Amino acid sequence: MSLMSTLTAELDQMSAAGTLKREMRMTSAQGALVQIEGKGEVIMLTSNNYLGLANHPAIVAAAERGERDYGYGLASVRFICGTQNIHKELESRLSNFFGTEDTILYGSCWNANEGLFQTVLTEDDIVISDELNHASIIDGVRLAKCRKARYRNRDMTDLQRLLVENASARNKMIVTDGVFSMEGSLAPLPELVALAREHDAFLVVDDSHGSGVLGATGRGTAEETGTWGQIGAYTSTLGKALGGSHGGFTTGPKSLVEYLRQKSRPYLFSNTLPPAVVLGSIAALDLVERDDVLIRRLRDNTRYFRKKISSMGVTVREGIHPIVPIIVGDTAKAISMSKELLDRGVCVSGFGFPVVPQGQARLRCQISAAHTREQLDRAITAIVEVAERNGVRAAS
């Protein structure tokens, strides 16, 4: 049992340091307001439910239709007997939404990233990755047998240096998050597109936090930055703005998608998406494509929150994205502030090392189209008071 002793000792250390994570229990659906065991109703200010679709009646109805007409699950991977007409329909709708040739669904965006680099890159190739890319890209890259390099976050000079140094590689791939999930900052896509062209590199953007969120019609970071149609391929998720349930995908050139269908291990060896999720995701796309009401509401709420909380003396990372980080420094402080906020009826996550660099622990607020102004005002008041008590905001 020496392994268990080692693990227990480390857990005890985390507990003593105040960095042990405890999962709160929700007894309601996801939404702007949720019920939490022992706390009652609180404002949810930390989910990826950007458009408020996670419990939208049209999506729930579509999911119910999925179960009624197509059953609970397929008990199979896609290539054996797990492909229904609705899987093909969702893939085609996603290609249409992203302006790409074809799309392959995965169980999650984690799986999409896990199944990309190891499948298409060999020892003769190189992948060059932003240092702040999501853990699923980091692990996905680890699995690949190709050459690997990392550039400083959003630093195009550093990326250019690596592209020049590795000019001899047979194929070069650059991979970036469209939106960095702990920062709310956007990748410099115009510069990335230009560098990829100049050095004949294939650009992959994980737009999990951009899809359904950024751009006038929610088509993501490329639409927002004027690089629509210029990205090599995207990976993204159905688990955030585009419905909020589960599922991920890679979308891009036909040949890439066909190759992944033949060889990508998380696609070949893991179950197909359940019908309820597939029809729910199609209903989410229907809502996003119908008009821009939700996207505009999300944008307005984000602007309102960012402006008001800054005007009340709490410094937030500047930007336009609904991810709004408040840097508090110490991990234990971020966790205890998050607990204080929960006691005041506002749910905001505290993130510390190793999720973010040492000394840069933070509260990560995330705004939703579902929030009312009254809810945002209540949340801001609570954050300002807790920040002041913890020395994160100077007392006025």
Ligand X SMILES: Cc1ncc(COP(=O)(O)O)c(C=O)c1O
Catalytic residues: 181, 209, 240
Alpha helices in 180-330 (DSSP H): 189-198, 221-225, 254-263, 265-268, 275-290, 293-311
Q: Rounded CA gap, 355 and 19, in Å?
A: 12
Q: Is 110 in the site for ligand X (CB under 6 A)?
A: yes
Q: Is 244 in the site for ligand X (CB under 6 A)?
A: no
Q: Is 281 in the site for ligand X (CB under 6 A)?
A: no
Size of the site for ligand X (CB under 6 A): 13
Residue from the set 119, 129, 181, 349 that interacts with ligand X by CB under 6 A: 181
Residue from the set 177, 183, 223, 340 that interacts with ligand X by CB under 6 A: 177
CA 317 to chain centre: 18
Q: Is 248 in the site for ligand X (CB under 6 A)?
A: yes
What's the min distance (Å) between Cβ of 185 and ligand X? 12
Residue from the set 51, 74, 104, 109 that interacts with ligand X by CB under 6 A: 109
- CA-to-CA separations, 337 to 32, 43, 83, 382, 391, in angstroms, rounded: 20, 15, 47, 11, 11
Orientation of helix 331-343 relative to helix 373-389, angle to 10°: 130
Of 34, 356, 93, nearest to 238 by C-alpha is 93
Q: Is 239 in the site for ligand X (CB under 6 A)?
A: yes
Nearer to ligand X, 26 or 138 (CB): 138
303 contacts 365 by C-beta, under 8 angstroms: no
DSSP assignment of 262-275 equals HH-HHHHSSPPPPH
Q: Which residue has the tokens 């929150």?
A: 305
Nearer to ligand X, 31 or 247 (CB): 247
Residue from the set 49, 100, 103, 208 that interacts with ligand X by CB under 6 A: 208
Nearer to ligand X, 147 or 209 (CB): 209
Residue from the set 237, 281, 302, 368 that interacts with ligand X by CB under 6 A: 237
Near ligand X by CB under 6 A, which window of 103-111, 145-153, 266-274, 373-381? 103-111
User: Six-digit token pair at 306?
Assistant: 């960012």
Strand segments (E) across the chain: 33-36, 40-44, 102-106, 126-130, 147-151, 172-177, 179-180, 185-186, 201-206, 233-237, 248-252, 323-329, 346-347, 349-351, 361-366
Our CA angle for 361, 365, 367, nearest 5°, is 160
Near ligand X by CB under 6 A, which window of 30-38, 184-192, 206-214, 259-267? 206-214
Residue from the set 78, 154, 172, 209 that interacts with ligand X by CB under 6 A: 209
Q: Rounded CA gap, 83 and 312, in Å?
A: 53
Q: Is 136 in the site for ligand X (CB under 6 A)?
A: yes
What's the min distance (Å) between Cβ of 197 and ligand X? 24
Residue from the set 56, 78, 87, 134 that interacts with ligand X by CB under 6 A: 134
Q: Is 340 in the site for ligand X (CB under 6 A)?
A: no
Near ligand X by CB under 6 A, which window of 78-86, 91-99, 108-116, 330-338? 108-116
Q: Rounded CA gap, 89 and 350, in Å?
A: 39
Binding residues for ligand X (CB under 6 A)? 108-110, 134, 136, 177, 181, 206, 208-209, 237, 239, 248
